[in-house]
């Protein structure tokens, strides 16, 4: 993991940090707990590769009233044993962020946040794809939701994903302190929808959802967004199949022998579906610019067309499926990316591109989130990870 440099915090920044931390004091039972929360926050922000308790406790000068013989033990006790609920802190964080960023044009962006690990005791750790390293590695993975609006962007909530290997080992779950209500077999898409319901229930406005292919390939995830009456544009893989025109179906009817057919069948002579890789090969793309970058305008080549989902077409499972919009992106290096969307039919290609590219600020700060180690290791509404932070 690369080290993130943080400059020394001057007095005026520390004063603003103290004012920010003061807004969370009602979420702690005692003023001393709130003071240790400030120490912990300060320690996470200053320079240093490791953000575990021992090195962190040595970096921060303790404020008046917190003079203790063993700062490490005191900070360990705050993180591991003090009676405060991180869910309350996350709710207040979202309320504070909403004051600056809330907008009717808000976008909820989903992605995985991964934490490379050396051992096997951290909650949910196993060998799996690690976005922080760009390959399979031993790590924890947490589905996360962030908020992007014209005013800026911020993290909202995250929750660790528990692989099946963990869920099948009660002893391991007990040792890690995973509460019983959290031992549910949830996919990443299901976790994402629960996080979305939580932050929206608190009143945060927004009508759009953007996610990469790790979520977009799930039909259940897309259906969940439809049920919540949200517009989305989500990544998919080139293995997805679709029709380029409304498919024609033959109704089930009695056969000439044997059992009668109970399923629809694609009509004789009707065009067969194709996967997105085949579709991209025959679809022209047009240059589009989505924003001004530090070195000039950022642009790519895109196609924006209507397709009819064809998953399960051979057995008639997609009969009656509503068409979706497909965005094909050809990147500068020639790599092709795909996204599907339920945006209104009249949505322009450039508007779809700009919405799709709203993931950019999230992707750029994912590395900062991961390299800052445990700033987000207490997922809102998830397991009590405070002791893991130690």
Residue 294, pLDDT > 60, answer yes
Summarised one tens digit per residue, pLDDT across range 262-289 is: 788 899 888 899 999 999 999 999 998 8
Show the tokens assigned to 333.
């290096």
Summarised one tens digit per residue, pLDDT across range 76-93 is: 888 877 888 888 999 999
Instruction: Please state, in angstroms and rounded to a whole number, the distance separating the CA atoms of residues 39 and 66.
Output: 10
Average pLDDT over residues 51-75: 85
pLDDT the model gives residue 364: 65
Contact between residue 356 and residue 363 where contact means Cβ atoms under 8 Å apart: no
Residue with tokens 């209500």: 181
Summarised one tens digit per residue, pLDDT across range 225-237 is: 999 999 999 999 9
**Nearby residues of 109 by Cβ (< 8 Å), 6 or more positions away:** 145, 146, 147, 148, 153, 209, 210, 211, 358, 359, 362
Instruction: Please state, in angstroms and rounded to a whole number, the distance separating the CA atoms of residues 262 and 8.
Output: 71
Interhelix angle 31-45/11-22, rounded to 10 degrees, is 130
**SS3 assignment, position 205:** coil
pLDDT the model gives residue 170: 93
**Nearby residues of 89 by Cβ (< 8 Å), 6 or more positions away:** 24, 27, 378
Distance of CA 233 to the CA centre of its chain: 14
- Helical ranges in 60-124 per DSSP H: 71-80, 86-101
Contact between residue 323 and residue 307 where contact means Cβ atoms under 8 Å apart: yes
Counting beta carbons within 10 angstroms of the beta carbon of residue 123, is it exposed (0 to 12), middle (13 to 18) or buried (19 or more)?
buried
Question: Would you give the DSSP letter of residue 230?
Answer: -
Higher local confidence (pLDDT), 128 or 13:
128
Higher local confidence (pLDDT), 193 or 113:
193
pLDDT band, residue 378 (cuts 50/70/90)? very low
Distance of CA 337 to the CA centre of its chain: 18
What are the extents of the domains in the chain? Answer: 11-81, 88-229+368-373, 235-346
């Amino acid at each position: 993991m690369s080290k993130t440099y943080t400059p020394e915090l001057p007095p005026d920044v520390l004063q603003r940090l103290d004012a920010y931390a003061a807004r969370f004091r009602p979420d702690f039972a005692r003023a001393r707990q709130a003071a240790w929360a400030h120490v912990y926050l300060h320690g996470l922000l200053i320079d240093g590769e490791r953000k575990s308790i021992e090195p962190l406790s040595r970096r921060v000068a303790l404020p008046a009233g917190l003079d203790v013989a063993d700062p490490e033990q005191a900070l360990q006790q705050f993180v591991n044993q003090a009676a405060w609920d991180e869910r309350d802190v996350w709710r207040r964080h979202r309320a504070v962020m909403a004051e600056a960023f809330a907008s009717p044009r808000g976008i909820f962006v989903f992605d995985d946040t991964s934490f490379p690990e050396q051992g096997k005791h951290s909650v949910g750790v196993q060998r799996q794809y690690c976005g922080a390293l760009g390959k399979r590695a031993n790590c924890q993975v947490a589905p996360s939701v962030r908020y992007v609006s014209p005013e800026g962007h911020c993290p909202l909530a995250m929750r660790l994903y528990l692989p099946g290997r963990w869920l099948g080992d009660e002893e391991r779950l007990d040792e890690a302190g995973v509460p019983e209500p959290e031992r549910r077999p949830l996919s990443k898409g299901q976790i994402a929808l629960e996080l979305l319901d939580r932050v929206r229930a608190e009143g945060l406005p927004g009508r759009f959802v953007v996610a990469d292919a790790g979520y977009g390939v799930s039909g259940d995830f897309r259906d969940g967004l439809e049920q919540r009456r949200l517009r989305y544009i989500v990544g998919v893989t080139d293995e997805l199949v679709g029709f380029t025109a409304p498919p024609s179906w033959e109704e089930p009817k009695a056969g000439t022998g044997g059992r009668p057919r109970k399923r629809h069948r694609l009509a004789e002579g009707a065009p067969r579906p194709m996967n997105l890789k085949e579709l991209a090969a025959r679809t022209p793309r047009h240059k589009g610019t989505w924003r001004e970058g530090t070195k000039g305008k950022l642009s790519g080549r895109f196609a924006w067309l209507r397709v009819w989902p064809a998953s399960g077409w051979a057995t008639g499972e997609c009969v009656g499926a509503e068409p979706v919009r497909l965005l094909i992106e050809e990147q500068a290096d020639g790599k092709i990316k795909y996204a599907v969307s339920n945006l209104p039919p009249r949505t322009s290609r450039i508007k779809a591109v700009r919405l799709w590219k709203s993931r950019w600020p999230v992707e750029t700060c994912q590395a900062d989130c991961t390299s800052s180690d445990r700033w987000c290791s207490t997922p809102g509404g998830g397991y009590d990870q405070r002791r893991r932070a130690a």
